[in-house]
């Protein structure tokens, strides 16, 4: 399988990097419940041709993703780590300027990698340091975008990540961040599916050269927070049948 790629607006080096359009998500709730199956799933996905993997410190899937990459190298499924596009995310309890670098260093240690391809601020808010998921509403505070983004930029300049971006940012929040950013975010990863198309945000990001990555593209069917409307959509079922594919 060859997966199409998109160019990302980068970077401090002026080099263009590309992101495989189809990525493999590794969030499974409750987090950390599936270490061994997560590793097996990622190895299987590598065999199927996936090269873009999405993890996050809070998912606790960084270690199994790292083990799967090492396993793929051992088995000769890939020749080098450079064949992968690995995304991870800054957990918002570390969304304070003095905690960003050490959070990324810890992520790299979990993955057993020297660099990420993309490091995202997971949410546009900060939490009290040390807190995990779930958390109480009272523990959320406004993020100081200017100083946190500066720390993200420093991570890229140090070569610990090829690109930096954000997740769950609205147009307004992106606007605030862009007002002081020296390196603009390469990506905004947001919830997006055929029934939630984020038209305004897509137009805004296109205008600013920010690539959008859709998460929960199938609507996270079967969870209390998701919707069955995507997978049960009659229109999508008809398109799928016509093309001899599944809805997914």
Ligand X SMILES: NC(=O)c1ccc[n+]([C@@H]2O[C@H](COP(=O)([O-])OP(=O)(O)OC[C@H]3O[C@@H](n4cnc5c(N)ncnc54)[C@H](OP(=O)(O)O)[C@@H]3O)[C@@H](O)[C@H]2O)c1
- Verify binding: residue 41, ligand X, rule CB under 6 A: no
- Verify binding: residue 188, ligand X, rule CB under 6 A: no
Site for ligand X in 193-212 (CB under 6 A): none
How many angstroms separate the Cα of 193 from the Cα of each of 28, 154, 160, 238, 246? 19, 33, 31, 17, 16
- Verify binding: residue 60, ligand X, rule CB under 6 A: no
Please tell me the distance from the alpha carbon of residue 128 to that of residue 39, in angstroms, as a whole number.
Answer: 31
Tokens of 7: 């160019």
b/e per residue, 63-83, with b = 16+ CB within 10 A? bbbbbbbbbbeeeeeeeebee
> Please, which residue, 180 or 223, has the CB nearer to ligand X?
223
Least distance CB 224 / ligand X (angstroms):
12
> Please, which residue, 131 or 157, has the CB nearer to ligand X?
131
- Verify binding: residue 27, ligand X, rule CB under 6 A: yes
- Taking only Cα atoms into account, the Rg of the chain, rounded to an integer number of angstroms, comes to 18
Answer for which of 81, 173, 202, 221 binds ligand X (CB under 6 A) is: 221
Q: Is 59 part of the annotated catalytic residue set? A: yes
Task: Give the CA angle between residues 162, 74, 31 to the nearest 5°.
Answer: 60
> Please, which residue, 31 or 97, has the CB nearer to ligand X?
31
CA torsion through residues 26, 32, 34, 40, sign:
positive
Answer for which of 10, 39, 45, 54 binds ligand X (CB under 6 A) is: 54
- Verify binding: residue 246, ligand X, rule CB under 6 A: yes
Site for ligand X in 137-176 (CB under 6 A): 167-168
Answer for which of 8, 10, 20, 26 binds ligand X (CB under 6 A) is: 26
Asked whether 61 and 86 are in contact (CB, 8 A), the reply is no
> Please, which residue, 38 or 151, has the CB nearer to ligand X?
38
- Verify binding: residue 22, ligand X, rule CB under 6 A: no
Tokens of 79: 């020749």
Answer for which of 124, 165, 185, 219 binds ligand X (CB under 6 A) is: 219
Secondary structure E strands in 65-168: 85-90, 118-121, 126-127, 140-141, 164-167
> Please, which residue, 54 or 117, has the CB nearer to ligand X?
54
Q: Which of 59, 115, 119, 145 is catalytic?
A: 59
- Verify binding: residue 128, ligand X, rule CB under 6 A: no
Answer for which of 22, 25, 181, 212 binds ligand X (CB under 6 A) is: 25
Among 28, 29, 26, 30, smallest CA distance to 43 is for 26
Q: Which residue do the tokens 């061994």 mark? A: 36
> Please, which residue, 13 or 33, has the CB nearer to ligand X?
33
How many angstroms separate the Cα of 114 from the Cα of each of 26, 105, 109, 160, 197? 20, 9, 8, 7, 35
The residues carrying an active-site annotation are 59
Which residues are near ligand X by CB under 6 A? 25-27, 54, 122, 167-168, 189, 215-222, 246, 248
């Amino acid at each position: 399988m060859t997966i199409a790629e998109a160019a990302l607006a980068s970077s401090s080096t002026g080099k263009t990097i590309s992101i495989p359009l189809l990525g493999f998500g590794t969030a499974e709730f409750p987090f950390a419940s599936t270490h061994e199956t997560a590793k097996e799933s990622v190895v299987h996905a590598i065999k199927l041709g996936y090269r873009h993997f999405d993890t996050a410190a809070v998912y606790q899937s960084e270690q199994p993703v790292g083990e799967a990459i090492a396993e793929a190298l051992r088995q000769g499924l890939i020749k080098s780590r450079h064949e992968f596009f690995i995304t991870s995310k800054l957990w918002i309890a570390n969304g304070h300027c003095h905690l960003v670098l050490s959070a990324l260093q810890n992520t790299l240690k979990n993955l057993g990698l020297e660099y990420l391809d993309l490091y995202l601020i997971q949410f546009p808010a900060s939490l009290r340091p040390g807190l995990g998921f779930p958390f109480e509403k009272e523990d959320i505070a406004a993020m100081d975008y200017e100083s946190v983004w500066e720390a993200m930029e420093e991570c890229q300049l140090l070569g610990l990540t090829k690109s930096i971006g954000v997740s769950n940012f609205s147009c307004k929040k992106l606007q605030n961040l862009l007002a002081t950013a020296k390196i603009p975010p390469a990506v905004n990863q947001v919830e997006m599916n055929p029934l939630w198309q984020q038209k305004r945000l897509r137009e805004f990001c296109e205008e600013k050269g920010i690539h959008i990555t859709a998460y929960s593209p199938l609507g996270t069917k079967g969870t209390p927070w998701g919707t069955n409307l995507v997978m049960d959509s009659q229109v999508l079922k008809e398109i799928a049948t016509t093309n001899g594919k599944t809805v997914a």
